[in-house]
Structure 1
Amino acid sequence: MMANLFSSFDPLSSFANLSLNWASTMLALLFMPYLFWAMPSRASLAWSSLMMILHKELKILLGPTNPGGTLIFVSLFSLIMFNNFLGLIPYVFTSTSHLVMTLSLALPLWLTSMIFGWLTRTKHMFAHLIPAGTPGPLTPLMVLIETVSNIIRPGTLAVRLAANMIAGHLLLTLLSNTGATLPKSLLPILLFSQLLLLILESAVAIIQSYVFAALSTLYTSEVN
């Protein structure tokens, strides 16, 4: 039962010794090129407006010292959101439900910002380890707590995204598996509950993408 339940998250399916599941990560690129040659549509204008709103919000978080730094985080938001939505399509592998994918996004961003901060702004980074107003006797303890909380940041980012994607997909799978045993009179209720859960998962896909991008921006802004 557990093997069947988690089979949709199995990344080992292959064809001719080539793993094709992870190829779904690049499917988002197929939705992008038409924006460069097709006439503007309502969908493209809505997407551009969303990107501009996100750019303005992340620009405030980064501060005036790095106004162009929002490009990477807006792109990160787009990549995660497209993969989250693609995972809601039947028989499409959800790459953001695996720590391999989420850690590959979170760890390099955190590591590069930490290396840059400690090499170029060492005093500023040390100041972040001791919150303002900390009593002298508690200083070693606060340094230890802040160090641990800083080290686990990429892990919390990765686990948060992967866990939310897995939870929603498992609920959809569990509800769909009960359809074969339910009487016909209860099938409309099952379909309605599936539809509501699918709408909730669509909202979660957007929210988790924004949370990942916003927290990455906040962690990066601490270095500035």
Structure 2
Amino acid sequence: MLAACTDSEIQFFSSASLLTHKDVEPSSSCSLGRYGTVKDFKWLHHASAAYIVLSNGGLLCHGSLGKDLKDVIENVDAVDCCKDGNHIAVARENKLTILSSDFKETCCMSLSFQLWSNESDSEGTTIKVDSIGWVRDDSIVIGCVRLNEESNEEGYLVQVIRSEGNTFFDSPSKPVVYTYVDFFHGIMDDVLPSGVGPNLLLGYLHRWDLMVASNRKSIDEHIALLKWSFTPDDKKNCNIS
């Protein structure tokens, strides 16, 4: 099953019908209605056809095929889920919260942007999470923008939050955070309107432990690479290429 989002509408199509019919009608659809337009959409379980959808106003909803959308959380900046769909990562009020598939909190951590916020030109600005990518069982990537006094986006910061264990749930120690202030060069802030993200596009090549990243606002450097590796003392590391 495939989902296509346009404005506030979500339409669902059978993969087979798209291959065999030129003018195909959606098998079902739903709408955010008065809650705004679709900012992001994620499948949770393809088998049960469950999904989550985030509105541009920050409302996170949960749904499944043939059923109405249910409001879950307000004031959400970004969302993603792990590969098996059993846990959901939510950025809200500069905190990263991990939820179970039934939306119960399992852990929460504050996000720190000190390296960025200490810059001399940061007065009168706020930092907001633009996107989340749960690229590995032990690693979540956060993309952030800085909002000036006119609420226009400036710059782009990337953080990798990596657990010392195999997942976010089997390590008693705090995760390690890698911050990349200039992960993308050539960011043009006004190439897209503010608030239309997520602007960070991610793919992960498990065979090579390599993340391929792109940013919709980058006009010079279209692809950036991040390598997951182990140092000689068996400590985890992330290296930008």
Q: Same fold (TM over 0.5)?
A: no
Comparing both structures, which one devotes a greater share of its residues to strand? 2
Normalization by structure 2: what TM-score? 0.23
Comparing both structures, which one devotes a greater share of its residues to helix? 1
Bigger radius of gyration, 1 or 2?
1
Question: Relative contact order (alpha carbons < 8 A, sep ≥ 6): 1 or 2 greater?
Answer: 1
Normalization by structure 1: what TM-score? 0.24
